[in-house]
Amino acid sequence: MRQCLADLDRDDQLPRERAAVLTRLRADLTVLWQTEFLRPIRPSVLEEVERGLSIMPRLWEVVPEIQLSLRQALVREFPEHNFFLPAFLRFGSWMGGDRDGHPGVTWDITERTLVWLRDTAIDRHLDWCQKLYDFLSVSRNEVSLETDLPNAVSQVEQRCPNFAATLTRVAPHEIYRRWIRQIEWRLRYALKVKVACGGRGN
């Protein structure tokens, strides 16, 4: 519905496109209006976790935007100061860990919840690794690097032969992409390290 409202504000839509947006909006409103306010079946703990995670993608986008806005405002208003901006927005949830007598919250459920949350965060980082890899095609032959990134990549290659094998399809001069592959490799390795429960709400 939020996207439909945003689409309706566009001034470049054809009449048929606007009609399609209005149809989608009416359908969403109708379904919402005809849905029981209270759910007929009490959700399981892991279903609650899943519903809680549904808002995570939006938080993932908005929180960095808020921090960037504050950082830019501080630079603009106080250019003579060099501020260190800590992580001032944190989010938590009781879902999967509310040990207040809930019979469905066992140690196994809490463990599975934590692994699920961890894996979801890793997946989001992997998504950004791919976006950055696609974008950062910068060649070290075209720019002067202000960091010793090539040496850092080489050190990881020497320490981790398995990582070195992932770089065979990345050109040596695309040093940023090689570094991103290192981050991605470590994240994928972390996904393979599971605790006893097996993760992901299974």
Tens-place pLDDT, residues 82-98: 988 888 888 888 888 88
The whole-number pLDDT of residue 80 equals 94
- Is the pLDDT confidence value at 202 over 50? no
pLDDT in tens, 106-124: 999 999 999 999 999 999 9
Alpha helices in 2-106, H assignment, sequence order: 2-8, 15-33, 45-53, 56-77
Q: What pLDDT, in 10s, does the model give residues 5-27?
A: 999 998 898 999 999 999 999 99
> Could you write out the three-class secondary structure of 99-146?
CCCCCCCCHHHHHHHHHHHHHHHHHHHHHHHHHHHHHCCCCCCCCCCC
Encode pLDDT of 14-70 as tens digits. 999 999 999 999 999 999 999 888 878 888 899 999 999 998 888 888 999 999 999
Domain locations in the chain? 36-192
pLDDT at 197: 40
The Cα 68–Cα 11 span in angstroms is 29
Q: The whole model's pTM is what?
A: 0.72
Cβ neighbourhood burial of 153 (10 Å; 0-12, 13-18, 19+)? buried
Confidence of residue 194 (pLDDT cuts 50, 70, 90): low
